Amino acid sequence: MVGVTFTVEDAVRIARSAHDGQVDKSGKPYIGHPLRVMGAVSGEHARMAAVLHDVVEDTPVTAADLLAAGCPAHVVATVVALSHLPGESQEDYLARVAADPVAVTVKRADIADNLSPHRISQLDVTTQDRLRAKYARALHLLDTLA
């Protein structure tokens, strides 16, 4: 894609394709989550990373695929920072997020969306409590590390 500028719309297209057929914990199309996270941040880098933030972690799309599609390397680096690796501790994952200021912004928007009253009210009480504790710990670690 030499000479062609990768846009937020390109990132949205990749995210829509990658998440096609996936549903969230309440059974709704998963793409709504990354689109809401994207809507909560500003700047092209953050918006691209936000809509792509679960693509590498939760779909067959790789960082190399994103680069081959023309996604800027700095956006791919942020997406990789936001991708929790299998077997990776929460502390190691959040330390990687904390090292990238754009990743921190996207992660905070991600957590806010995951804890939004409308979304969390769709879940059973046990799952709500588990997620609230998980994200409170994540925010505390981000505050400590960032």
- Tell me the per-residue pLDDT of 75-110, one tens digit each, with 9 for 90 and over: 999 999 999 999 999 999 999 999 999 999 999 999
Residues 6+ apart with CB under 8 A from 107: 82, 94, 97, 138, 142
What pLDDT does residue 1 have?
45
* 8 Å CB contact between 83 and 62: no
pLDDT tens column, 10-24: 999 999 999 999 998
This prediction's pTM: 0.91
pLDDT band at 66 (very low <50, low <70, confident <90, very high): very high
pLDDT band at 3 (very low <50, low <70, confident <90, very high): low
Q: How many C-beta atoms lie closer than 10 Å to residue 51's C-beta?
A: 30
